[in-house]
Amino acid sequence: MSNERTTEMTGTVKWFNQYKGYGFVEIEGIPEDVFLHFSIVDGSSIKDLAKNDVIICSVQKSDKGYQIMKIKKVISHSKYPLSKDTSKVSAIVKWFNPSKGFGFAQLRSGEDVFIHAGLLKKLNLKELEPNKKVKLMVRHTNMGYEALDILE
What are the structural domain ranges in the chain? 7-76, 87-150
Q: What is the pTM of this model?
A: 0.54
C-alpha–C-alpha distance, residues 6 and 24, integer Å: 17
The CATH fold assigned to 87-150 is: OB fold (Dihydrolipoamide Acetyltransferase, E2P) (2.40.50)
Rounded Cα gap, residues 138 and 20, in angstroms: 15
What is the per-residue pLDDT across 81-120, written as a single tens digit (0 to 9) for each? 555 677 899 999 999 988 888 899 999 999 999 898 888 8
Assess whether the region 7-76 and the region 87-150 belong to the same CATH fold.
Answer: yes
What CATH number was assigned to the domain covering residues 7-76? Answer: 2.40.50.140
Residue 21 falls in which region: left (phi positive, over 0), alpha (psi -120 to 50) or beta: left
Residue 114 to residue 126: CA distance in whole angstroms: 17
pLDDT confidence bin for 142, thresholds 50/70/90: low
Rounding to the nearest 10 degrees, give the CA dihedral for residues 20, 26, 29, 31. Answer: 60
